[in-house]
């Protein structure tokens, strides 16, 4: 189906990263007007060029902003309204990682990861809600992680914020149902993004060839495979979905 988001306006944070960029391109392919937000200017330039090459005539507004700052949320919404006049879909995707055992974490690390992974979602949602409510059929999709449910040693701060996203999602769904705003979460599993290619110091081809042991499909997801469920939740096809968590994880085992 083509045009599943025709004439809808969407904001995607973390828009220059793997899942955010894939979501932005897929939304443009499906007729949306898309605002991509990221603090990495070089990555955003590359992603914008890729999307415009893949989707001629794409209605795309890149914004180089730091979502960890509370004031940024109002700027994003105001810029979106100025460019496109409305807002129908919000994808809270921005996230950072920290590799420390909880016994060694500092207040500075907590502040940084909470600001991006949890508070940015809250602030942007707060600023966006008046515009989302005005449409009567809006959708918020919060990107969490399988590790919201499947914790591990060494990344407790990240896992805590991802669990918090699920709680926030359900609460917002209860609060906003009467305003016509649906709120759902997506939990990606292992997703092959540029971040993981850099972190693991392997080529994309090497990672694609690896057999992943802890999921039933035994491979990494592509970013586009995660973007499709996000697209569905953003569309009117998911009009009876709210307060839900969708696991996009290839059947990851959870203890």
Query: Which residues are part of the catalytic machinery?
Result: 144, 158, 162
Q: Residue 176 has which token pair?
A: 């906003």
From the centroid of its chain, how far is CA 170? 16
- Torsion, Cα 207 158 185 119, to 10 degrees, reads -140
Q: Measured between alpha carbons, how far is 119 from 87 in angstroms, rounded to an integer?
A: 20
CB 108 within 8 Å of CB 151: no
Q: Residue 60 has which token pair?
A: 């795309």
CB 192 within 8 Å of CB 223: yes
Q: Identify which of 162, 129, 135, 169 has the alpha carbon closest to the alpha carbon of residue 146.
A: 162
DSSP tag of 205 = H
Place of tokens 């990495």: 40
């Amino acid at each position: 189906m083509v045009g599943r988001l025709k004439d809808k306006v969407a904001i995607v944070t973390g828009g220059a990263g793997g899942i955010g960029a894939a979501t932005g391109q897929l939304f443009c392919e499906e007729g949306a007007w898309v605002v991509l937000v990221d603090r990495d200017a070089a990555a955003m330039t590359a992603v914008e060029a890729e999307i415009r090459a893949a989707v001629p005539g794409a209605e795309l507004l890149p914004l180089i902003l730091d979502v960890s700052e509370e004031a940024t949320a109002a700027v994003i919404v105001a810029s979106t309204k100025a460019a496109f006049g409305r807002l129908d879909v919000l994808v809270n995707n921005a996230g950072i990682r920290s590799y420390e055992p909880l016994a060694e974490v500092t207040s500075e690390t907590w502040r940084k990861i909470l600001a991006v992974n949890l508070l940015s979602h809250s602030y942007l949602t707060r600023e966006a809600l008046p515009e989302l409510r005005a449409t009567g059929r809006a959708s918020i999709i919060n990107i969490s992680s399988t590790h919201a449910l499947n914790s591990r040693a060494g990344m407790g701060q990240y896992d805590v914020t991802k669990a918090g996203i699920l709680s926030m999602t359900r609460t917002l769904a209860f609060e906003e149902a009467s305003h016509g705003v649906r709120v759902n979460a997506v939990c990606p599993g292992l997703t092959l993004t540029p971040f993981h290619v850099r972190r693991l110091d392997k080529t994309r081809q090497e990672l694609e060839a690896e057999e992943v042991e802890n999921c039933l499909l035994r491979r990494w997801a592509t970013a586009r495979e995660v973007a499709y469920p996000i697209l569905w939740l953003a569309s009117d096809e998911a009009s009876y979905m709210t307060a839900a968590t969708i696991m996009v994880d290839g059947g990851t085992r959870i203890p």
